[in-house]
Amino acid sequence: MRVNRRGMAMVAALVSVLACSPADGPLPADEAPAAADRRAGAPGIGDPDFPKDGNGGYDVAHYDLVVDYVPTTKRLTGVTTIKATATQDLSRFNLDLSGLDVREVSVDGSPARFGRQGDELTVRPAKAIADRAGFTVRVAYSGTPKPAKDSANLGTYGFVPTSDGAFVASEPNGSKTWFPNNDHPSDKATYDFTITVPTGLTALANGELVGAPATKGGTTTFRWRERHPMASYLATATLGKFDLRHGATASGIPNLAATDPRFKSSLDKLYTTSAEVTDYWSTIFGPYPFSSTGGVVDNYSAGYALENQTKPLYGGFDPDDTIIAHELAHQWFGNSLTIRRWKDLWLNEGFATYAEWLWSEHKGRKTAEATFAELLKRPATDPMWTYPPGRAKPDDLFNQSVYTRGGMTLHALRGAIGDATFFTLLKTWAADHRYGHVTTDEFIDLAQRLSGKDLTALFDAWLFQPRRPT
Ligand code: TRP
Ligand code: ZN
């Protein structure tokens, strides 16, 4: 046993010597953390559907991201500083990072050993960290980010190079393609961004600008701060040529719209619709959770949008009010209230889809009831009826059922408990879990508590059965 382990350690050590140059020798990559050392942080945060996403043993409070990006060479140089608290004694812990070369890692200012294995960056501090202690880890890295391709019928996501910069949309686990982090929504944190690009380009991250952009020596540095907790998949550093319009919504929320020059004609509509929708949702879902709103249209033809916190990102199309209503509804459902496990994704997508129907109703177009009735007519063989939306599948996370049947679930609920209770429920749900985490069970419990009804059968039929509810 022992001899065997050492032999493997030597091979692994050779591999990691080639892969990285840590401060004082490579970290043996073979030690299965749990078996080798009870004080090792787990390589995953405990989402059974995504066993390697996120990490165990600590909780991040804040990310400070310094990113330099040169579109012509596609080269990124970064320094990520993470403030975290240990949730166990830690002899070592992991971060998620995909590709890119790590130059140096330190913990509390002292050089730390590190190793790479797949998308796991393992850090061994010079001195073990005690349970409940705060610590700071700093990672200096660089390279050409490679977007993620595999999971969840989405195509390419993460840090995606464009003709003039980068389109950064990372759901569900693409943040690790551009900075080392605890890449799972169950660990939210605040963020500072310092992004440097060639002068003439604009870098757009979450939250608000801190000071004016600073230009020197042909580069411009943009500093952004997101002071509300944010899931890693919502972090962005979308950059390139942009036209901007900023101001405030009618109710006074700072509003920033940005469009790639190819979509300049969309700028005013993006600005005014984002403002109108943000203010309207504030009356339906309760106070807007963040310090600014807006949207970004880039020239990368993703064909989809992502609800990046404070700055939804639209990929290569002129967004209409329906999709703007969807992405801004996510600021409440998904961003302020964040799922603990990906299987509960309908709490994001079902709600944002139902918001589209509410928006249409608000605008005097089709009612939510008419949309629901039409969808209910789909034949029993429609794939939506065999995919239960309450348990999103890891290899097909963004299945249309999670969106459409998820939205129908809310309409069926509305019918069962009545409009008054239903709209109180939406506001109470958003208020009770503001900036926090949520599960499907918590939503069902609240719906039952507020309505005084047993809704087990309704939720079971709509969320968990592989057939059309009757
Ligand atoms: N959450 C997005 C929506 O509004 C869809 C989505 C998931 C996405 N992953 C993405 C978009 C990655 C862009 C990139 O429905
Ligand atoms: Zn969505």
Residues of the chain with pLDDT > 70, as a percent, come to: 91
Instruction: Look at residue 160 and tell me whether its pLDDT is greater than 90.
Output: yes
Residues 2-25: what's their mean pLDDT? 38
Binding site membership of 171 for ligand 1 (Cβ less than 6 Å): yes
Average pLDDT score over residue span 393-419: 97
At 350-384, the pLDDT tens digits run: 999 999 999 999 999 999 999 999 999 999 999 99
Angle at 165 between CA 161 and CA 170, to 5 degrees: 50
37 alpha carbon – ligand 1 mean position (Å): 38
pLDDT score for 153: 65
Position with higher pLDDT, 151 vs 222 = 222
pLDDT reading at 48 higher than 70: yes
Report phi then psi at 100, rounded to 5.
Answer: 65, 150
305: Cβ below 6 Å to ligand 1? yes
Closest protein CA for atom 10 of ligand 1: 171
- Each residue of 168-215: pLDDT tens digit? 999 999 999 999 999 999 999 999 999 999 999 999 999 999 999 999
How many Å lie between the centroid of ligand 1 and the Cα of residue 171? 6
Ligand 1: does its nearest atom lie under 6 Å from the Cβ of 157?
A: yes
Q: Which ligand is nearest to the CA of 171?
A: 1
Cα–ligand 1 centroid distance for 448 (angstroms): 30
List the structure tokens of 68. Answer: 């330099």
- Residues with Cβ–ion distance below 5 A, ligand 2: 349, 352
Band (pLDDT 50/70/90 cuts) for residue 152 is low
pLDDT at 149 over 90: no
For the stretch 302-317, pLDDT in tens is 889 999 999 999 999 9
Residue of minimum CA distance from atom 1 in ligand 1: 306
CA 222–ligand 2 middle distance (angstroms): 28
Q: What is the mean pLDDT of residues 52-69?
A: 98
String of DSSP letters for 37-99: -TTBPPSS-S-TTSTTSS-SSEEEEEEEEEEEEETTTTEEEEEEEEEEEESS-BSBEEEE--S
CB of 327 closer than 6 A to ligand 1? yes
Widest CA span in the chain: 75
pTM check: above 0.85? yes
Residue 17 has pLDDT above 70, yes or no: no
Q: Which atom of ligand 1 is nearest to the CA of 315?
A: 13
The pLDDT assigned to 36 comes to 64
